Amino acid sequence: MSRPIITIAELAKHAGQEVTIRGWVYNWRKKGKLRFIILRDGFGYLQCVVFRPEVDESVWETAVELTQESSVEITGVVAADERAPGGFELKVSGLEIIQIAPEFPIGKKDHGPDFLLNHRHLWLRSKRQHAIMRVRSELEFAIRDFFQRRDYTLIDSPILTPAACEGTSTLFETEYFGETAFLSQSGQLYLEPAAAALGKVYCFGPTFRAEKSKTRRHLTEFWMVEPEVAWLRFDGLLDLCEEFLSEIVARVLDRCTEDLERLERDVSKLRPTADGDFPRLDYAEAVAKLKALGSDIQFGDDLGGDDETLLTEQFDRPVLITRYPADLKAFYMQPDPSDPSRALAVDVLAPEGCGEIIGGSERSDSLEHLERQIAAHDLPRESFEWYLDIRRYGSFPHAGFGMGIERCVAWICGVPHLREAIPYPRLINRLNP
């Protein structure tokens, strides 16, 4: 059989040749004896032309039956044509219907978010969602590659956990053979012991937060990448954040040009990030700057959403906010030796008002300090005994961070709401589909 079955991505290699392509009808237009079928196959979009005088009458009759999202196998000659989107079109000679689809719920005009989310399984077929999923996939690959090439070991942390990382109020609970288990909200506590075993480790997986937050920046299930590095100090952690972000953004810019174009993303706003050299602001400097910009923030307050937006608008690349007041941050963070009221913590805020995408810190390596912190935070001491072992058996300086994948995807793609940055978003009042 000489006629190859190809994907739309391989089209250019087959110019002038008769090929078969399998896919779905994305859209169609008719003009008298002409029918244009826009076919999508997951790899691209292709205009297929059926001209009645030039095809068998059976092919024409089949073409007339097609509806949006019907599945088909189309055969024809690949022809360069300036009038075709993408530069190539298919002169149809054969058309086989796999299935005629009934009226497709998602049309060409606008839809509301509730409707689209109810049809997320079908919404994924649209060009915009297709592009976002491609960027997400490339970003995740870039992240794994970043760590793999630097000799990190991937440690898959558990999803079912016996206790909280930062308290139980925001955890999903489930019955576990007569006990209570919680869905993990971070792999960090499990990574720290692994860092003692393997030096440089990271985890990459879903995490769960039962926070009743209803904003564009929150999901109840989201994916997080968390590196944890033995012997890494705070300054090294800041360098790691910068190197990491600049490299993965550069990679996506390089490999997802078409997708970012389809998303109408202004990539000039992302380029500075790829160069690194992120501004670093001490928390006190950040507060002073915000006050000068008109915020009513006081020293000791956490940065609000408006503050983050205001701050990121001052820079063309991510900004690192360092050394927060310790009581704003988690129990396991290392106090700043020059001022113990501050923690060696960093938040990375992405530009264009996107806000926090990374939170990290140097971890406390003192058993006594952690014991005091656990008591001060009213955490169940017995649940953390295993974690405290890390400070008993060869305590070591170490640091790490966590990055929310969806926030990074949303920023890179320029989509305003996290619900589009994950295939099947889980929100406070949405579990379906």
Positions touching RNA (CB under 7 A) are 27, 29-34, 36, 38, 47, 49, 51, 53, 67-68, 81, 83-85, 89, 103-105, 107-115, 117, 170, 186, 209, 211-220, 222, 224, 302, 304-306, 308, 328, 330, 355-359, 402-404, 406-407, 417-418, 427, 429-430
- Whether cis (ω within 30° of 0) applies to the bond prior to 325 is no
8 Å CB contact between 63 and 100 = no
Q: CB-wise, 199 or 210, nearer to RNA?
A: 210
Q: CB-wise, 197 or 377, nearer to RNA?
A: 377
CB of 409 to RNA, least distance (A): 10
Q: Strands 319-322, 280-282: parallel, antiparallel or unpaired by DSSP?
A: parallel
Q: Side chain identity at 15, as an amino acid letter?
A: A
Give 210-254 as a DSSP string: -----STT--SEEEEEEEEEET--HHHHHHHHHHHHHHHHHHHHH
Sign of the C-alpha dihedral computed for residues 291, 296, 301 and 304 taken in this order: negative
CB of 121 to RNA, least distance (A): 16
Q: CB-wise, 108 or 392, nearer to RNA?
A: 108
HSE-CB for 221 with a 13 A CA cutoff: 14
Question: Rounded to an integer, what distance in angstroms lies between the CA atom of residue 359 and that of residue 185?
Answer: 14
Q: CB-wise, 318 or 384, nearer to RNA?
A: 318
What is the rounded (10 degree) CA torsion for 201, 237, 357, 131? -60
Q: CB-wise, 254 or 416, nearer to RNA?
A: 416
Using the structure block, give the residue that is written with the tokens 């490299």: 247
Cα three-residue angle 226-232-234, rounded to 5 degrees: 90
| Interacting residues of 415 by C-beta distance below 8 A, sequence separation 6+ | 132, 263, 409, 421
Helices (H) and strands (E) in the chain, counts: 13, 19
Q: CB-wise, 255 or 428, nearer to RNA?
A: 428
| Interacting residues of 416 by C-beta distance below 8 A, sequence separation 6+ | 216, 410
- Residue 146 main-chain phi, psi, to 5 deg: -55, -50
Q: CB-wise, 260 or 358, nearer to RNA?
A: 358
| Helical axes 234-255 vs 405-413, angle rounded to 10° | 50
CB of 105 to RNA, least distance (A): 6
Q: CB-wise, 194 or 310, nearer to RNA?
A: 310
8 Å CB contact between 27 and 47 = no
Cα three-residue angle 4-6-7, rounded to 5 degrees: 175
Using the structure block, give the residue that is written with the tokens 């088909």: 72
Using the structure block, give the residue that is written with the tokens 């976002």: 132
CB of 392 to RNA, least distance (A): 25
CB of 382 to RNA, least distance (A): 24
CB of 410 to RNA, least distance (A): 9
| Interacting residues of 80 by C-beta distance below 8 A, sequence separation 6+ | 15, 87, 88
CB of 31 to RNA, least distance (A): 4
Q: CB-wise, 57 or 368, nearer to RNA?
A: 57
Total number of residues shown for the chain = 433
CB of 256 to RNA, least distance (A): 21
DSSP 124: T
CB of 328 to RNA, least distance (A): 6
Q: CB-wise, 19 or 404, nearer to RNA?
A: 404
DSSP 394: S
Question: Rounded to an integer, what distance in angstroms lies between the CA atom of residue 298 and that of residue 102?
Answer: 59
Q: CB-wise, 81 or 255, nearer to RNA?
A: 81
